[in-house]
Amino acid sequence: MAGQEVRAYNFAVGDTAALVGPSGGRLRGVLVTAAAAAAFTIRSGSATGPIILQLTLPVGWNDVYIPNDGILADNGCFVSAFTGSGNVMTLLIE
């Protein structure tokens, strides 16, 4: 989807599970600063929507870039789980 604007949205461990960013779009990447081992689940639209990305990451700076056109999140990116202590993620959504 060339020409679309990519925006960054932050989400921290301890934040309430929620829709992050627009109500529809493409997930292009996730950046995670992990003070402790991290795991997260992103679903499409709601806590019961289909899982679109689920990862476990080590301590440190983690870049997760999604190739080609990214992952389509018709109903938006809902962060349903994010674990660790002091961890912060940034979702890159187009």
The Cβ of residue 68 has, within 10 Å, a number of other Cβ atoms equal to 8
Mean pLDDT calculated for residue range 51-75: 94
Name the strands in the sheet holding 18-20, side by side, starting at the edge strand that comes first in the sequence.
18-20, 77-83, 38-44, 51-57
Mean pLDDT calculated for residue range 45-54: 95
pLDDT tens profile 20-46: 998 889 999 999 999 999 999 999 999
Q: What percent of the chain has pLDDT over 70?
A: 97
Confidence band of 1 (pLDDT split at 50, 70, 90):
very low
